[in-house]
Every structure is written in structure tokens, then in C-alpha cells.
Amino acid sequence: MRAWAVVETGQPLQAMDWPTPEPQGGEVLIEVTHCGVCHSDLHIWEGGYDLGSRGRLSLQDRGVVLPLAMGHEIAGRVAAMGPEAKGVAVGEAKVVYPWIGCGRCERCAAGEDNMCPNAARTLGIYRQGGYATHVLVPDAKYLVPVEGTDPAVAATYACSGITVYSAIRKLGDMPPDRAVVLVGAGGLGLAAIHMLKALGHHRIVSVDVSDEKLAAARAAGATETVLAAPGGGAEATAAIVAACGGPAMAVIDLVNGSATARFAFDALGKGGVLVQVGLFGGEITVPLPIMAIRALTLQGSYVGSPADLRAVMALAKAGKLTALPVSTAPMAQAGTVLERLRDGKVTGRVVLRAEAA
């Protein structure tokens, strides 16, 4: 098989020829047709994560081994199966749930692979992923039918779709006219707008530093937009409060850097919830008495579960979930797309298109 892999962090991806895996047991071999390019891929390509005063989380700290074909937003066709694989047939189109856990712990048994505390088997991070012609999936239970959806869009649901769906659910029950603030209007931000609309929410406040991305947010259905200065600060907080008509009760930070976390936290009203999703990096210092006096909630949210992917695909197939803007590029241009994403030149999502498509 052909793969486009990170061999050295920060350096161009290299095209590599590896043996095509032969599925054993319950494994399923997928011939990749589409694979999304995600901001999370940038952190792997660049070599780690900014932890603020606690230093840097390196790939080695996470257990990532190079060379690695990244890519966890995968759609493709069943190419082969192990003798114990059940419920799939060669040629079927599937979207792949990539956040695969150890398969043995309490969380995995409960269907919460993304919360597995042990040696995860995430595709594109700990195992070879979708920047390749083929990917080996440990079990057919991680495959969801594509039928009824554009496979290029369906691929993105395996990360951006379930990430925003899971984050929205963490806000709890909300009246449909309560303002929900989304910090960041990139691919995740636009996906969150579409998801909120699909779930019946009517007021969506989008915050970004780019006029172009805010225009895309308005086109997607944001009812209010806030142009924040790159450093955020008190002006961003005040603008968010004004857009909400009062302190914010529900904020999802899809950037989650030091500046965005600070102004998002400061915009919260009493009983407000801030869900932190992005991996931009840094840290936030929280005034502890304010946390108690205002009964605030800060909660991290890491992608979603297999059940979340099935729920998102059901929304899409029912016609309730508008597809986010997706453009495609040949798989061989994966490195160029990563550079565009790093430089902030991508609106919506870019999905790599394999020759098998």
C-alpha cells in the first residue's frame, strides 16, 4: 500500500510503500476513498502540544511512533475481512470510528472507547491512519454505513462531527433560544453551527479573529458574530456579553488557547458552562472564589463515542444536518493541505481524495 507519512516532525510528509495489511481474526481492511485533514494532525506533524507553564507534551510522551500515516477522518470500502469478522461484506462503503480503545477496560465495555485510560489504538495517531490507500480496523463494530451521505462529508463526522455533538451534549438541557457561544469559526466552528441547528437551537454566537471566517459562520447560520482581537482580552469578553444580551450561559471553546479560554471564562454568567475542546495550547489561571460564588463549570471534551458517530450519521441521513463546506484534494497533496491549514488558509474542511474514490 502507499502511505503519506510523518517521518520527521516539522518536515514534509514522505510517500512510502508498505505491505498491505492482511486482516486477522475480526479485523477489517478498508480501502480508503476519503480522509479529512484535521487540526489535530498539525500537532502531530509539528511534534507536540503546548502545556503552558507545564512545558510541552511530546509525541514520545503520548506514545506516538514515527513513521506515521496520520488521518483519523476516514471513509472507504471494505476490501477484505478476517475469518471472524461479522456484519460486513466486501465492497460496502463505511465511515470509520477511529478513537479505538484497548477493548478490555470498563470504559471500552461501556462503549466509551474515546475515554479509554489504557493503551489506545487510535487510527492515525497510535496506528497507521487514513493518509494511505488502506487502513486496518480492529473490529467491524467501528464501521458505520455511509449510504445516504456524501463520503467526503461523512469522513469528517468521525472527528469534527462527533466532537461538536459530544461537546454540545455537555452543555446540558437548554431552551432553544438560549445563546450558545462558539469560539472559533474554522472547520469545527462551522460543524458546531450546523449541529446546533440540527438539534433545534436558534441563537448561535460565533467568535473569531477573521472576518472571512465569520462571514462563513453567518452563511452557515450563526445569528450573531464577534470579531475578536488576536489577543482577546476584556474587549472580546464585553463583545460576547453584548451579543448574548447578558453574560453567557453556554460557551464551547473550539480553539482553547490561553487567550480564548480567558475571555470565554470571563464572559460566563452565574451557573454558566465552558466546554473546552481545542488543543491550541497554553493555560488559564482561574480565580477560585469566583468559581464557587458563580457556580461555574469548566469541562474538557475529547472527541466522541461510537454511539455519537451513529447518532451523527443518523442526523445526516435524516436530512437534519447540513453538510459543512468541504473541498477535496488528491491524497498525494496531503503535505500541501497541512501547510494551508497551519497558515489559516482553510475555510471549512479539506478532505483528501484517494485514487479509489
Domain ranges of the chain: 2-160+304-353, 171-300
Q: Does residue 324 register a pLDDT over 90? A: no
Q: What is the pLDDT of residue 195?
A: 98
Which strand (E) or helix (H) includes residue 50? strand 48-50
CATH second-level architecture of 2-160+304-353? Alpha-Beta Complex (3.90)
Residues 6+ apart with CB under 8 A from 50: 56, 280, 281, 282
Q: What is the pLDDT of residue 253?
A: 98
pLDDT digits (tens, 9 = 90+) for 76-135: 999 999 999 999 999 999 999 999 999 999 999 999 999 999 988 999 999 999 999 999
27 neighbors 138 (Cβ within 8 angstroms): yes
- Closest alpha carbon to 351 in 65, 41, 120: 41
pLDDT digits (tens, 9 = 90+) for 71-89: 999 999 999 999 999 999 9
pLDDT digits (tens, 9 = 90+) for 193-231: 999 999 999 999 999 999 999 999 999 999 999 999 988
pLDDT digits (tens, 9 = 90+) for 30-86: 999 999 999 999 999 999 999 999 999 999 999 999 999 999 999 999 999 999 999
DSSP label at residue 117 = -
Options 3.30.1050.10, 3.30.70.270, 3.40.50.720, 3.20.20.70; which CATH number does 171-300 get?
Answer: 3.40.50.720
Number of Cβ within a 10 Å radius of residue 69: 27
Q: Does residue 191 register a pLDDT over 90? A: yes
Q: What is the pLDDT of residue 119?
A: 80
171 pLDDT tier (thresholds 50, 70, 90): very high
User: Distance (Å, rounded) from C-alpha 236 to C-alpha 226?
Assistant: 8
